[in-house]
Amino acid sequence: MNEPAATAATDVRPNLDATNRLHVGHDHDLLLLHEMLRIRRFEEKCAELYSAGKIRGFLHLYIGEEAVAVGAMQALGRDDAVVATYREHGHALARGIPADRLMAEMYGKHEGCSRGRGGSMHVFDAHTRFYGGNAIVGGGLPIAVGLALADKMQQKPRVTACFFGDGAVAEGEFHESLNLAALWKLPVLFLCENNLYAMGTRLERAQSQTDLAAKARSYLMPAEPVDGMDVLAVEAAARRAAAAVRRGEGPAFLEFRTYRFRAHSMFDAELYRDKSEVEVWKQRDPIATFISHLKEREETADAILGALNGSVADEIDVAVQFAEAGTWEPVDDLLKDVYSPRPGSDGAA
Amino acid sequence: MAKMATTTYREALRTALKEALVKDPRVFLMGEDVGQYGGSYAVSKGLLAEFGPERIRDTPLSESTFVGAGIGAALGGMRPIVELMTVNFSLLALDQIVNNAATIRHMSGGQFNIPLVIRMATGAGRQLAAQHAHSLEGWYAHIPGIRIVAPATLEDARGMLWTALEDPDPVLIFEHQTLYNMEGPLADDAGPVDIDHAAIRRSGKDLSLITYGGTLGKTLQAAETLAREGIDAEVIDLRSLRPLDMPAILESVKKTHRVVIVDEGWKSGSLSAEIIARIVESAFYDLDAPMARICSAEVPIPYPKHLEDAALPQPAAIVAAAREVVGRRG
């Protein structure tokens, strides 16, 4: 059967010497921590680069929600597919898209994983079956249903993991997609990241029923809420759900209760929430709590953390250097790939 | 010589669907009432019995999701044919078509392409009123990343589908609802046709009548009337609305120097406007007269027959416009 994605991901991710050493004797937990730290530091660097004008457009940070992508991704194998949202840097990294190619994409460089065409919100990668990066809220759900339909029709025992936020639950496509996936018993793992706000609109201001798992259950699929700030809880729930989906039992739904620590985007003045609320959630920071547990049971925790942090810092430095050294796609290629190349044409419009 | 057999546009479409389902195991059809009901225009009648529910899929009424699922299935290695009942209903799936189907290849840097075919009925003429009778294919032709075709003949109804399925990118096929019952001879070895080129349906030297889809018949009728008056009209069937076959259009303009465009879409911001603009850009000095357009009146298409007829392009109006353009007063 399928290996966990993290194992698969090591094949495509460079700079793993330090990590591989840390794996030994410290098992899977440290891998989870490492992945969460990679996302956190990558995005902190992105915020810095945004202020420096290196990254433009919209930038939506995942900081605070790292446990969801990292934990859920452990349930996927190399052949599975991922459909994500416009807040998808974490998913991309956890799925195994190399940090350097992702950073080059943030810059809009030709060496980026979408060749620089998409930027922060449109990360695509055929190698890891990462189908975006979708900036239309709810727009990815039908695509995930279709990917799963293709797998079922071709008798491929694969799972399509579909990430979306609580905002998408208000869209018609959420209901249409859950209905169709359940009706046709398609292998979709619906992963709802409930961070309580659809941009600036709090869940209670948008939903008559705020129990999101209840909505999914109404389509007769298994659904449960999960503490999205606890990476081990996320992983355990995702593995259970993915195994059932893979067995052909139809789709499953998980609601991860999480929180974004940063603004919605770099343009958000955060007028809709109280700073004290953010501070309360920060007490549950998935990385900080994981580290404090580690320290409680591991005498050499500081040394381990030092090595992990060092490895992550190196990886981010290398990624930034890669992006800086990247090239701009020639303007002559502007129209390339609007259509597929055909005889006598290069795919221009 | 191939034998000719009498068939209808609907049967030609069905034969094309059957051929595709037989030839390629990746092909399947999904949409509202395509299976047990047999298709709202009866195009897929009998296919469920022949190919089974895995490949002839009745969907819930959720256009956005089953079109999006078509995109996903195409990304996942299948060759889906999605049927939308009418172009008006396709608006519920506009997000998937415009934001995903049309963008993903370019936006992913060419990593993913979407070999998806979407078929839908378009146009007016059957008193179905303003939510089942519009001609919005010109809107879709505005969008880079998708191809738009409009079969107006039995040969094209029979032959465009397979070519569209072989195309690596999304192709939208617009079937005018008044054509389904059109009957005529079709060669029994008719098969796939190109979807790149316009066709000269009637050769002439005095003016070019440019049209497509449901108004081809009316335009040919007008051309016959004009012929009796000594006006020799060339009739161009665009066939592909995106990309437009501009070389074919310009060649005709350079021959006739006079143009009337017949389009069931509205004039404002339209395909007919686009064609005029391109002719002006490329062949202005070849023109001997201002170009004219016969399009639908700028109203939601009304229900009663006399008003619907008045709202749509009709042969008499095409004839009158042609006379004007060639400088003859009726």
Cβ contact B243–A349 (<8 Å): yes
Reported as a single tens digit per residue, the pLDDT across A112-169 is: 999 999 999 999 999 999 999 999 999 999 999 999 999 999 999 999 999 999 999 9
- pLDDT on residue B87: 96
Nearest to B75 among A146, A153, A177 (CB): A146
* A88 interfaces chain B, CB cutoff of 8 Å: no
Report the pLDDT averaged over residues A98-110: 98
In Å, how far is A156's CA from the nearest CA of chain B?
10
Distances (CA, A) of B42 to A5, A338, B5, B83, B160: 47, 34, 20, 12, 18
**Percent of chain A predicted with pLDDT > 70:** 91
Report the pLDDT averaged over residues A285-301: 92
* A172 interfaces chain B, CB cutoff of 8 Å: yes
Q: Chain B: residue nearest A117 by CA?
A: B107
- Kindly tell me if the per-residue pLDDT of A7 is higher than 80: no
The ipTM of this complex is 0.95
Interface of B with A (CB under 8 A): 28, 54, 59-60, 62, 64-78, 80, 95-96, 99-100, 104-113, 144-145, 147, 167-169, 243
**Percent of chain A predicted with pLDDT > 90:** 85
* A194 interfaces chain B, CB cutoff of 8 Å: no
Reported as a single tens digit per residue, the pLDDT across B109-157 is: 999 999 999 999 999 999 999 999 999 999 999 999 999 999 999 999 9
- pLDDT on residue A9: 36
Nearest to A337 among B65, B67, B109 (CB): B109
Rounded to the nearest 10 degrees, the angle between the axes of helix A140-153 and helix B63-75 is 50
* A132 interfaces chain B, CB cutoff of 8 Å: yes
The conformation of residue B100, written as its DSSP 8-state character, comes to I
Indicate the length of chain B as a whole number. Answer: 330
- Kindly tell me if the per-residue pLDDT of A346 is higher than 80: no
- Kindly tell me if the per-residue pLDDT of A308 is higher than 90: yes
- pLDDT on residue A266: 84
Reported as a single tens digit per residue, the pLDDT across B226-246 is: 999 999 999 999 999 999 999
Q: Which comes out higher in pLDDT, residue A4 or A86? A: A86
Q: Chain B: residue nearest A136 by CA?
A: B99
Cβ contact A114–B108 (<8 Å): yes
Strand partners of residue B266: B296
Report the pLDDT averaged over residues B256-280: 98
Q: Chain B: residue nearest A159 by CA?
A: B76
CA-CA-CA-CA torsion for B68, B69, B73, B75, nearest 10 degrees?
30
Report the pLDDT averaged over residues A90-114: 98
**Residue to substitute from A80, A109, A337, A346, interface B, most B β-carbons within 10 A:** A337
Whether the CB-CB separation of B131 and B118 falls below 8 Å is answered with no
Nearest to A320 by CA among A130, A50, A67: A50
- Kindly tell me if the per-residue pLDDT of A194 is higher than 50: yes
- pLDDT on residue A16: 32
- pLDDT on residue A182: 98
In Å, how far is B309's CA from the nearest CA of chain A?
37
Report the pLDDT averaged over residues B209-214: 98
- Kindly tell me if the per-residue pLDDT of A8 is higher than 90: no
For residue A292, give every residue at least 6 positions away whose Cβ sits within 8 Å of its Cβ, in sequence order, or none: none
Nearest to A180 among B69, B106, B111 (CB): B69
Classify domain A26-324 at the CATH topology level: Rossmann fold (3.40.50)
**A309: how many CB neighbours lie within 10 A of its CB?**
13
- pLDDT on residue A297: 83
CATH classification (class only), B199-326 = alpha beta
CATH superfamily of the domain spanning B4-187:
Thiamin diphosphate (ThDP)-binding fold, Pyr/PP domains (3.40.50.970)
Domain ranges (residues) in chain B: 4-187, 199-326
Q: Calculate the average pLDDT of chain A.
A: 91
Run of H or E including B175: strand B171-176
Whether the CB-CB separation of A320 and A45 falls below 8 Å is answered with yes
Cβ contact A336–B112 (<8 Å): no
- pLDDT on residue A17: 38
Report the pLDDT averaged over residues B264-275: 98
Report the pLDDT averaged over residues A56-84: 97
Q: Calculate the average pLDDT of chain B.
A: 97
- pLDDT on residue B318: 98
Nearest to A46 by CA among A65, A25, A30, A60: A60
pLDDT confidence band for A343 (50 / 70 / 90):
low
For residue A132, give every residue at least 6 positions away whose Cβ sits within 8 Å of its Cβ, in sequence order, or none: A83, A84, A88, A118, A122, A123, A124, A140, A143, B104, B107, B108
Cβ contact B105–A179 (<8 Å): no
Reported as a single tens digit per residue, the pLDDT across A27-51 is: 788 999 999 999 999 999 999 999 9
Reported as a single tens digit per residue, the pLDDT across B9-65 is: 999 999 999 999 999 999 999 999 999 999 999 999 999 999 999 999 999 999 999
* Burial of residue B277 (number of CB atoms within 10 Å: 0-12, 13-18, 19+): exposed
**Residue to substitute from A335, A338, A346, interface B, most B β-carbons within 10 A:** A338
- pLDDT on residue A347: 54
* Burial of residue A15 (number of CB atoms within 10 Å: 0-12, 13-18, 19+): middle
Reported as a single tens digit per residue, the pLDDT across B154-206 is: 999 999 999 999 999 999 999 999 999 999 999 999 999 999 999 999 999 99
Whether the CB-CB separation of B150 and B165 falls below 8 Å is answered with no
Cβ contact B109–A114 (<8 Å): yes
* A153 interfaces chain B, CB cutoff of 8 Å: yes
- Predicted TM-score (pTM) of the model is 0.94
